[in-house]
Amino acid sequence: MAVDQDYFFIQKKDDDTLPSLTPDENTVDRHYSFEPQPYGAAPFMFSDGACEYARKLGIVPGTDIPDILFAGTDLVVRKHIRDLLIGLDLPGVYMHPAVFVDAYDRRHEDYWFVAIPERLSCWDRQLSEFEDEPLELGGFTLYSVYSYSLDATVLDKIPLHQRLLFKMGDTLAAWFVCHQDIAEIFRGNGERGAKLVAIKDY
């Protein structure tokens, strides 16, 4: 569908030297992925949880830390990207300070965790390919989706500004999704640690 050309999944760039973020126990206890934090609360703490395994495989963790990091499908971005997102005044998007300790024990304190507590279920059940049997998890019905087509009837009811950035709902992989109008914020000429995958090409 035409609307599929307008949206991209934001995913980690294919580079084994990039960090894979793991939250510490306190961050997990604060339900960091879906619960907005009170103003002034301590930063979320992340480390490169995969670095030792990578080293055992002969992979040397990178020293040049990119602007966009990934904790699963969640985004952790540097302050200048956070400022761009703040400037868009996106509804339902919350950001909280984050500290990342890299594979060389260096602290990076200029990051922000991006949270979107409410997911948007807008994939077309008729045109997408998915597993028939969903998983019931935490009161949610989640599907394994293999290819996506967006439901224009759902999206057309939502003003564009309210759907420039969202998390895909009713799926096991809750990817961040961005509209083409703000794609350059995340693309950054391919140097920001993220790749944008068009919905139609997933």
Report the percentage of the chain scoring pLDDT > 70. Answer: 98
* Dist CA 141 CA 125 (whole Å): 14
| Same domain as 111, residue 31 | yes
| Contact by Cβ (8 Å): 100, 55 | no
- Do residues 26 and 82 make contact, with C-beta atoms less than 8 angstroms apart? no
Spatial separation of the C-alpha atoms in residues 86 and 140, rounded to whole Å: 29
* Shared domain check, 127 and 42: no
Rounded to an integer, the average pLDDT of 171-191 is 89
Nearest one of 3, 11, 1 to 197, comparing CA atoms: 11
> At which of 93, 115, 137 does a domain end?
115
Same domain? 58 vs 69: yes
- Average pLDDT of the residues of the chain: 94
Q: Which of 118, 111, 115, 135 is nearest to 169 (CA)?
A: 118
Choosing from 57, 91, 115, the residue where a domain stops is: 115
Q: What percent of the chain has pLDDT over 90?
A: 90
Same domain, 133 and 195: yes
Q: Say what the pLDDT of residue 106 is.
A: 97
165 and 186, same domain (yes or no):
yes
32 and 108 in a common domain = yes
Whether 153 has a pLDDT exceeding 80, the answer reads yes
**Full-model pTM:** 0.93
User: Do residues 34 and 104 share a domain?
Assistant: yes
Residue numbers of the domain that contains 171 = 3-13+118-201
φ, ψ of residue 158 to 5 degrees: the values are -115, 125
| CB atoms closer than 10 angstroms to residue 36 | 13
Is 163 in a helix, a strand, or coil?
A: helix
What is the DSSP pairing of strand 44-48 with strand 94-101? parallel
Last residue within a domain, chosen from 98, 115, 132: 115
- Indicate if 124 and 66 belong to the same structural domain: no
Q: Are residues 111 and 130 in the same domain?
A: no
Domain count, the chain: 2
Identify whether residues 41 and 91 lie together within a single domain: yes
pLDDT digits (tens, 9 = 90+) for 108-120: 999 999 999 999 9
For residue 118, the tally of other CB atoms under 10 A from its CB is: 10
Rounded-to-integer distance, Cα 32 and Cα 85, Å: 19
Residues 65 and 42 reside in one and the same domain: yes
